[in-house]
Amino acid sequence: MNDREAAPRPTPEECERLTGLLAGEDRENRRLLRLAVRQNRYMRRQDVPRLEFNAREWGRYLPAAREARTRRERFLLEIGGRLGIPRDELRMTRLSRRAEGRAGEELRRVLGAWERTATELVRQNSLNGVLARFCLDLVAGESAVFRRGVAGQDPCYDDRGHRPAGGMANVLERQA
C-alpha cells in the first residue's frame, strides 16, 4: 500500500459540493476579469464616464466574489477537518488528486478552470495597476508643466510677446 492509497479521500458528495462552490467562484472571478479588461481599455482611452461606471460595477460584483471565496474556503476547511489534514497542508490541488471517480475528474477539471481564471485576474489587475501609476505620473508631469507656465516660473512669452527659446511654452501650447 502506497501513501496515495493510505491518504484520506474526500467523498464523491464532498467533491461534487466543492466542484459547485469552485464553479460559482470561477463565474464570479470571470465577471471581475471582464471588468478588469474593460477597466484597462477605458484607462487607455481616458474614458472617465465608463471608468466610473466600471468602478461602480466592481463595487457591485466584488462582494459576491468575496462571498463565493469565503464559502469555498469554509467548506474546504470542513473537509480538511473531517479528513484530519492540518490547515497548513490543506490544498485544493492535493485534495483533488485524492478524489476518485467521475466526481474527482470533474473536480480537477473545474479546479483547472478556476486556477486559470484566478491567475488571469491577478495578472490583469497587476497590469491595470501599472497603467494607473503611469497615468498618475503623466498627469503629475503635465500639471507641473502647467503650474510652472501659469505661475510664471517658465513664462510662455517674453516681454516683447515672443515665445522664449527652449521654454516649456510648446508643451502648454499643444495641450491648450
Amino acid at 29: N
Residues 92-137: tens digit of each pLDDT: 998 999 999 999 999 999 999 999 999 999 999 999 999 999 888 8
CB 103 within 8 A of CB 19: yes
Backbone angles phi, psi at 103, to 5 degrees: -65, -40
CB 107 within 8 A of CB 75: no
Q: Give CA–CA dist 92/94, Å, rounded.
A: 5
End-to-end CA distance of the chain: 78
Distance of CA 22 to the CA centre of its chain: 17
pTM above 0.85, yes or no: no
Q: Give CA–CA dist 172/24, Å, rounded.
A: 51
Residues 17-73: tens digit of each pLDDT: 999 999 999 999 999 999 999 999 999 998 999 999 999 999 999 999 999 999 999
Q: What is the pLDDT of residue 118?
A: 97
